[in-house]
């Protein structure tokens, strides 16, 4: 119970009562971000330390443990260039519409990304060989003395070969009964540094590149204004669903005081009341996202939307997405982007399920800039379906692709799960010739899946799939791995059918300025 004699201010830390996933009471440490008065009491907006920002909320004084109150430490004022003391950033107004934190996130169920135990049976192996161009570099691995069993599934693939291994072909063995040899990358050739999610444990040891300052979705970790840290929309009504936003979104300020923000589920226009929405629906002719339908199978459709031709829809889509995405900057310049919206069809129209965006021209081979499954459709396989669709587009384009980094926590889990299932699917389908272990290269895996080579290697590294055994690198597929993969694939009912995709890639470099 809060002591009324003690005034709580922004920056104070203390335990706050909340319910965990098991609906049990817990008292995690939280920081007070804002205080407001309502008739009869005060409310405190708190951020739970070491918890995701989506759990931030307004709490009443009776949920605060004043016995363990920590007041904010006084910090020395930092002088600015003109010698004046520094001050806290002012609240964003017009500027906040130009830049906001946005994170790449897919909302599918978390992957089965845990290190598996030592297999009970001896694993078979597959050698990864190089054909044609060299595969990406793999680091030195433990000696055979350190990894005595080829059947041990947990093993680590690193980024680059040692100097010695760069001069000779090394071998990888995969435990599904076959062996494949991995050839090091060409001498003197350097791989691009690629930033990864700050929470990622399979870092590519790259240096995050500077954020792009064009387009509607730009990575920017530095922007963390006190206003943008707080949710400003209480509830959104979208069709038959009511959504509770997770993060700040720069909707017009006059709409943030409303108990419910109403959106047209077809054009995504925002309105302040149900009556305004009903009036709008009598005039709105859309029953599907504007753009071309490039895929339909059953009730699932994908629409391709040009950010220049359909600017208003694209901007409204970004505003909605910002409610559930964090740690990127939202810009209103959507011209350089394409948006692929997934919908479910019924008698009333095509209802938005999720979407991903991509740059028309990407120098970093990004095939996804931002990806989201709306909360009502999460944990139903739609996240992986969006990811799979993005790679099907890359296959048609004849390119390998990768999502823009950094990935969010949920986005990272979804991509890890998709990469793992896709690569294991290929390895398990390998056939041996004349009793010899089948051979495949990292390049071939990348070409078959359109997954960038760095992501293939990082996935093998995350899965601890590679061992060093008798002078060669070995991929081991244990019985546990095979069984776990088969169980996961049985649950994955939604798949993209390439025959239903009607997509012709455009060469945007020859189309002027879009």
Profile the chain (514 residues) by mean pLDDT over runs of 10 residues.
67 92 90 88 90 89 91 66 45 39 39 39 44 39 33 30 35 40 36 34 34 44 64 93 93 92 96 95 93 95 95 94 80 87 94 95 91 92 95 94 86 92 90 72 90 91 77 76 87 92 86 53
CB 261 within 8 A of CB 281: no
Give the closest residue to 326 by CA, choosing from 416, 251, 223.
223
Q: How many CB atoms lie within 10 A of CB 436?
A: 10
Element (H, E) at 481: helix 479-491
Tell me what pLDDT residue 388 has.
Answer: 96
Longest pairwise C-alpha distance within the chain:
84
Tell me what pLDDT residue 37 has.
Answer: 87
Tell me what pLDDT residue 464 has.
Answer: 81
Give the closest residue to 473 by CA, choosing from 223, 161, 86, 193.
161
Tell me what pLDDT residue 429 has.
Answer: 85
Sequence ranges of the domains in the chain: 13-68, 217-400
pTM of the model: 0.70
Give the closest residue to 358 by CA, choosing from 333, 377, 343, 336.
336
Give the closest residue to 299 by CA, choosing from 268, 264, 342.
342
Residue 466 backbone phi and psi in degrees, to 5: -110, 135
In angstroms, the first-to-last Cα distance of the chain is: 59
Tell me what pLDDT residue 88 has.
Answer: 43
Tell me what pLDDT residue 497 has.
Answer: 95
3-state DSSP of 95-160:
HHHCCCCCCECCCCCCCCCCCCCCCCCCCEEEEECCCCCCCCCCCCCCCCCCCCCCCCCCCCCCCC
Assess whether 167 carries a catalytic annotation.
Answer: no
**CATH of 217-400 among 3.30.300.20, 3.50.50.60, 3.40.50.10480, 3.40.630.30:** 3.40.630.30
Give the closest residue to 388 by CA, choosing from 403, 378, 398.
403
* 106, 252, 259, 322, 407 from 231: Cα distances, Å: 20, 13, 13, 11, 21
Could you tell me how many helices (H) and strands (E) the chain has, helices first?
7, 25
Q: Is the dihedral of CA 14, 19, 25, 28 positive or negative?
A: negative
Q: How far apart are CA 161 and CA 1, in angstroms?
A: 59
Q: How far apart are CA 376 and CA 107, in angstroms?
A: 10
- Count Cα neighbours of 191 within 13 Å in the Cβ-side half-sphere: 24
Q: Strands 41-48 and 29-38: what pairing?
A: antiparallel
Tell me what pLDDT residue 162 has.
Answer: 34
Tell me what pLDDT residue 194 has.
Answer: 34
CATH code of domain 13-68: 2.30.30.140
Give the closest residue to 364 by CA, choosing from 395, 405, 328.
405
The DSSP output letter for 318 is: H
The torsion region of residue 268 among left (phi > 0), alpha (psi -120 to 50) and beta comes to left
Tell me what pLDDT residue 205 has.
Answer: 33
Tell me what pLDDT residue 79 has.
Answer: 54
Tell me what pLDDT residue 222 has.
Answer: 44
* 204, 354, 394, 508 from 211: Cα distances, Å: 18, 24, 23, 22
Element (H, E) at 392: helix 382-397
Tell me what pLDDT residue 374 has.
Answer: 95
Q: How many CB atoms lie within 10 A of CB 486?
A: 11
> Which is catalytic among the residues 124, 265, 404, 444?
404
DSSP 430-467: ---BTTBPPEE-HHHHHHHH-B-HHHHHHHHHHTT-EE
State the Cα angle at 505 between 504 and 510, rounded to 5°. 130
């Amino acid at each position: 119970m809060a002591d009324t004699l003690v005034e709580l201010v922004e920056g104070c830390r203390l335990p706050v009562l909340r319910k965990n996933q098991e609906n049990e009471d817990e008292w995690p440490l939280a920081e007070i971000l804002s205080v407001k008065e309502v008739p009869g009491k005060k409310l405190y907006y708190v951020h739970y330390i070491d918890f995701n920002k989506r759990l931030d909320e307004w709490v009443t004084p009776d949920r605060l443990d004043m016995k363990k109150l920590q007041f904010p430490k006084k910090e020395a004022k930092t002088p600015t260039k003109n010698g004046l003391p520094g001050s806290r950033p002012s609240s964003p107004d017009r500027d906040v519409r130009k830049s906001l934190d946005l994170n790449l996130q897919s909302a599918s169920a978390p992957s089965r990304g845990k290190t598996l135990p030592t297999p009970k049976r001896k694993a078979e192996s597959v050698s990864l060989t190089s054909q044609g161009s060299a595969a990406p570099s793999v680091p030195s691995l433990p000696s055979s003395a350190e990894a005595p069993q080829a059947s041990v599934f947990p093993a680590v693939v690193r980024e680059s070969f040692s100097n010695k291994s760069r001069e000779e072909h090394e071998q990888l063995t995969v435990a599904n009964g076959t062996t494949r040899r991995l050839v090091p990358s060409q001498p003197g050739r350097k791989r691009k540094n690629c930033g990864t999610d700050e929470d990622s444990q399979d870092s590519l040891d790259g240096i995050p590149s500077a954020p792009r300052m064009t387009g509607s979705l730009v990575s920017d970790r530095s922007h963390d204004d006190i206003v943008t840290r707080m949710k400003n929309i209480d509830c959104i009504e979208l069709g038959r669903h009511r959504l509770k936003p997770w993060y700040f979104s720069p909707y017009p300020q006059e709409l943030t005081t409303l108990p419910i923000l109403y959106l047209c589920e077809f054009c995504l226009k925002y309105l302040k009341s149900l009556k305004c929405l009903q009036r709008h629906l009598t005039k709105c002719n859309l029953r599907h996202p504007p753009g071309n339908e490039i895929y339909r199978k059953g009730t699932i459709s994908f629409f391709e939307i040009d950010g220049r031709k359909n600017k208003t829809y694209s901007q409204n889509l970004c505003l909605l997405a910002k409610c559930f995405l964090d740690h990127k900057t939202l810009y209103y310049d959507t011209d350089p982007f394409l948006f692929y919206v997934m919908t479910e069809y019924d008698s009333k129209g095509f209802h938005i399920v999720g979407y991903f965006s991509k740059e028309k021209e990407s120098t970093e081979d990004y095939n996804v800039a931002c990806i989201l499954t709306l909360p009502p459709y999460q944990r139903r396989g739609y996240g992986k379906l969006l990811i799979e669709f993005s790679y099907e587009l890359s296959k048609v384009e004849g390119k390998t692709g990768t999502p823009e980094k950094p990935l969010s926590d949920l986005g990272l889990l979804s991509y890890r799960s998709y990469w793992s299932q896709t690569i294991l699917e290929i390895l398990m389908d390998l056939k041996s010739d004349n009793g010899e272990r089948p051979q495949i290269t990292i390049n071939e895996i990348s070409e078959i899946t359109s997954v960038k080579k760095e992501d293939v290697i990082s996935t093998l590294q995350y899965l601890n799939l590679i061992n060093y055994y008798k002078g060669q690198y070995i991929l081991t597929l244990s019985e546990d791995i095979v069984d776990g993969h088969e169980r996961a694939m049985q649950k994955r009912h939604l798949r993209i059918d390439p025959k239903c995709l009607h997509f012709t890639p455009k060469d945007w470099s020859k189309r002027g300025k879009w």
